Amino acid sequence: MSKTILEIKNLEKFYENGVHALKSVSFDVKQGEFLAVIGLSGSGKSTMLRCINGLVPSSSGEINFQGQDIISLKSKELRLARKSIGMIFQHFNLISRKSVLVNVLSGSLAKVSLFNGIFAKFSKKETDKAMSNLELVGLKDKAYIRADELSGGQQQRVAIARALMQDPEILLADEPVASLDPATSHSVMDHLAYINKELNKTVVCNLHFLSLVRKYATRVIALKDGKLVFEGSPLDIDEAWFKRIYGEQAREVGIE
């Protein structure tokens, strides 16, 4: 495949409450791939994703992105680096009392001055871009209604539009469909796949369902108790690997 966009080396994370969440995790992310991260709840998937954009400070190791090590960045440089890393979340994390448009525009807050940010003055260019991103996720007609009036799937699509405002090099998705029903899940995943293939954005996505992994991911890594235990193609995860990642008792359930 093409060049490496993100390189993670010996990443460690100790939480203050005594949890050793990540144990020497190393892997590369290639330009343009759709990398799925699987593992049980509590295996460190969310922590790992949050280490990449510094939402959770790493304890030690290296995260090389755009020629700099995210871990060693000062807060101002970290903010700059975050501009190129979009993120969407399991619970969408929209500002519920604000309109859909303002939520999308909040994705470009890193580009506006403090004054313009506080008075929500966004340029015509940004507003047009927000509208076209909303069109991309099929929610242009909902621009002026309050975010909490949307359904879960629609909220997640707004969150995708918000992340696209950053023109991200890479898009992190933390369990993007875990709180959605199966039909809506596919719609959200299809939008992510479109962004990955057509807009050529690299996607790193935590997922629960192997069926979704097989359908959408180009490559998979698996975490177990904070350790990287598998790296390969989605088709390589057979019964034996499945039991090693999810435990002997586990049985696969699908989302079709």
Partner 1 sequence: MNKFKTTESFENHISKEKRSAKAKAFFINFLLSFYLFFSLFFSSSYLIYEKNILPSFFYFILLAFSFIFSLLWTSKNSSLGSMAIYKTNKFLKNRKELQSEFNLFSFSGIFISLVLILTILLGSILVDINLYLLFSSQGLSGAKRIFSALFQPNWNIISQVLSSMVDTIFIAFLATFIAIPIAFFFSFFAARNLMKNSLLGNSVYTVIRFISNFTRSVEPLVWAVIFSVWVGVGPFAGMLALAIHSVSSLIKLYSEQIESVGQGPLEAIESTGAHPVLVVWYAVVPQIILPYLSFTIYRWDINIRMATVIGLVGGGGIGTLLVQYQGLAQWNEVGTIVIVIASVVWLMDYLSAKLREAIY
Give the residue, chosen from 159, 170, 207, 217, that forms a contact with partner 1 under the rule CB under 8 A.
159
Q: Please, which residue, 153 or 234, has the CB nearer to partner 1?
A: 153
Q: How many residues bind partner 1 (CB under 8 A)?
A: 46
Cβ of residue 200: shortest distance to partner 1, in angstroms? 21
Task: Confirm or reject binding of residue 248 to partner 1 (CB under 8 A).
Answer: no
Our finding on whether 121 is near partner 1 (CB under 8 A) is no
Give the contact letters, 85-114, x = binds to partner 1 (CB under 8 A), - = no: xxx-x-xxxxxxxx-------xxxxx---x
Q: Does the protein bind partner 1 through residue 185 (CB under 8 A)?
A: no
Beta-strand relationship, 60-65 and 68-69: antiparallel
> Residue 95 corresponds to which tokens in the numbers above?
């500002």
Question: Radius of gyration of the chain from Cα atoms?
Answer: 18
14 contributes a contact to partner 1 by CB under 8 A: yes
How many alpha carbons lie under 13 Å from residue 107 in its C-beta half-sphere?
Answer: 31
In this chain, which stretch among 11-19, 132-140, 181-189, 205-213 interacts with partner 1, using CB under 8 A?
A: 11-19
In what side-by-side order are the strands of the sheet with 60-65? 20-30, 4-14, 60-65, 68-69
Classify residue 140 by burial, with Cβ atoms within 10 Å: 0-12, 13-18, 19+: middle
Q: Burial of 125 by CB count in 10 Å (0-12 exposed, 13-18 middle, 19+ buried)?
A: exposed
Contact 232, 219 (CB under 8 A): yes
Stretch that binds partner 1, among 54-62, 193-201, 206-214, 228-236 (CB under 8 A): 54-62
* Binding interface with partner 1 (CB under 8 A): 12, 14, 16-20, 50, 53, 55, 57-60, 75, 79-83, 85-87, 89, 91-98, 106-110, 114, 117-118, 159, 162-163, 165-166, 172
